[in-house]
Structure 1
Amino acid sequence: MNGSAHSTPKVLDIHLKRGPAGLGFNIVGGVDQQYIMNDSGIYVAKIKENGAAAQDGRLQEGDKIIMVNGWKLENLSHSAAVELFRTAGEDVQLRVQQRCLSQQNGPFSSQSDGDSSPSFNTQTMITLVATAALATVVGIIVYKRLRGPRSPF
């Protein structure tokens, strides 16, 4: 079926020139911090405003980074991937698999090519707030039922 969400993801080669703030994106993933269950790949968590990646415009949040300067990112720990980005030089060639529509956002934090900053997933936060509210209501109902009717004594 053409145009379906299950189509083969597109692979792009992207050249970025490191700017004053690095490459301008944060990453998540690795063999020790899987972003997507049963996938130890490295993914773009956040694109920083006015950074090299944002100025280029092709790299998107959720994209999987397959290679950096010819080095495959398979079976790397998160910290090893971060180090590979830090030492990649000024001109960085990325091979990227664009995200699939079916992929979901992952954890709350990520690490970039030179710093650490929180990444916030609004949908996950809404889910957490709704779950907490539901748990509170259920707790009140259970408490009232267990307490039973009060005697006037």
Structure 2
Amino acid sequence: MVGDMILSVNKDTLIGSSYDSAASLLKQTEGIITLVVCNPKRDTQLDGSVISKDLDKKMSGTDGATTSTLEPSTLLEEPIDPLTSPIKPGRECTIEINKDKMGLGLSIVGGCDTLLGVIIVHEIFSDGAAAKDGRLKPGDQILEVNSEDFRSIPHKKALTALRQTPSKITMVVYRDESIANSAISGKEEDFLDVIEVELMKKPGKGLGLSIVGRKNGNGIFISDIVPGGAAGVDGRLMKGDQILSVMGQDLKNATQEEAAAVLKLATGKVSIKLGRLKARPSPSTSDNESLTSESDTLACRSVVLKRGSKGFGFSIVGGYGSLHGNIPIYVKSVFEDACKNVLHTGDQIIAVDGIKLQGRTHQEAVLILKNADNIVTLKILS
């Protein structure tokens, strides 16, 4: 299948081989070719075993073996042209886009310092180079830009890198298969993880967030979150979230002025339904989440906590497969005075006593904290 990794050909290993050396080896093989292949994404190989298939020039139905009449050279995939090749779902693709006078013409959300964890294309502007190129879509994950790694990069650093790109941009992108399949329906809701929150709006104060309309088309989005405000304290909202409804009132087709009026008039417990672009990290992103640049590493700090009668004095939110999507583990609330000077709502927990939490479910993170020693060291990204 497309995406299978070829580990060896007739007992000659290809691990670490270049494209040219692998192509040369495959072209030189004759007769029966035994390939050892694996695919980490394939659900049928849950035990981690390696699939071995014999490829012969004659069809054979014995023992359910898979055979092929292809010549060895036809097993090769020719190098693709990044200027014209399409983005294929479920695999990393390299594309090239030439900027015009209107620039690249897209907006992004996410980053390693946000609830998304990765950089996602948020909107494609109709007058920009990306729209004219026609391949990028909202929801695509940006992995590299001109050889700069975007797999674990803060939002502001990604913005700066995109703004400083030359006229020719080479990007490595990943489109999740589930997002690609939902695009067939044409319903924008299928691209979103729906999140419902309740914020307490105090008399005379707002919700602590700013909104903006989409440049092309309908939609109201969170453009900023005020630190210390109701939205910031809750910790579940982020820039780029679409506001689908407030107190049951549908805002999917509302103007920015209409949405601002609804938010302003709401009082007490304000229920908000949000839509967030689905973001399942690509395989390489999951493998490289721990590989951060020197500047990113400096942003992390270590916190030592002692277990008390109420545990370590804080609660967590997030995790892979959580109700809020596939997001990192964050501090939800801090309820012990001893913790309030070192932990804050929204801090990302990178590791617990050296155990990395990237890719962990919420339940796994809870168990790691529960089973930790009475004195625990947390690696925190604020």
TM-score (normalizing by structure 1)? 0.62
**Is 1:22 matched with 2:103?**
yes
For residue 246 of structure 2, give the secondary structure of its aligned residue in structure 1.
Answer: helix
State the 1:80 CA deviation.
0.3
Tell me if the contact between 2:145 and 2:171 (Cα under 8 Å) persists in the aligned partners. yes
Say which structure is richer in strand.
Answer: 2
**Pairwise CA RMSD of aligned residues?**
3.4
Aligned partner letter, 1:96:
V
Tell me which of the two structures has the higher relative contact order, counting C-alpha pairs closer than 8 angstroms and 6 or more residues apart: 1
**Is 1:32 matched with 2:113?**
yes
User: Rg bigger for which structure?
Assistant: 2
Q: What residue is the counterpart of 2:146 in the other structure?
A: 69
Alignment of structure 1 residues 37-116 onto 2, 5 Å:
40-101=117-178, 104=192
Say which structure is richer in helix.
Answer: 1
Instruction: Give the aligned length.
Output: 116
For residue 55 of structure 1, give the secondary structure of its aligned residue in structure 2.
Answer: helix
For residue 158 of structure 2, give the secondary structure of its aligned residue in structure 1.
Answer: helix
Q: Deviations over 1:14-42 (max 9, x none)?
A: 1111122210110111122233xxxx210
State the 1:51 CA deviation.
1.1
- Rounded Cα–Cα distance in structure 2 between residues aligned with 1:73 and 1:14: 15
For residue 23 of structure 1, give the secondary structure of its aligned residue in structure 2.
Answer: coil
State the 1:85 CA deviation.
0.7
Alignment of structure 1 residues 122-133 onto 2, 5 Å:
124-128=242-246, 130=248
Q: What residue is the counterpart of 2:374 in the other structure?
A: none
Structure-2 change in CA distance of 1:85 and 1:121 (3 Å): same
For residue 192 of structure 2, give the secondary structure of its aligned residue in structure 1.
Answer: coil
Structure 2: 5+ residue stretches without partners: 1-40, 43-88, 180-190, 195-211, 222-241, 251-265, 270-382
Runs of 4+ with >6 A deviation: none
Aligned partner letter, 1:101:
S
For residue 101 of structure 1, give the secondary structure of its aligned residue in structure 2.
Answer: helix
Structure-2 change in CA distance of 1:128 and 1:16 (3 Å): same
For residue 178 of structure 2, give the secondary structure of its aligned residue in structure 1.
Answer: coil
Structure-2 change in CA distance of 1:51 and 1:72 (3 Å): same
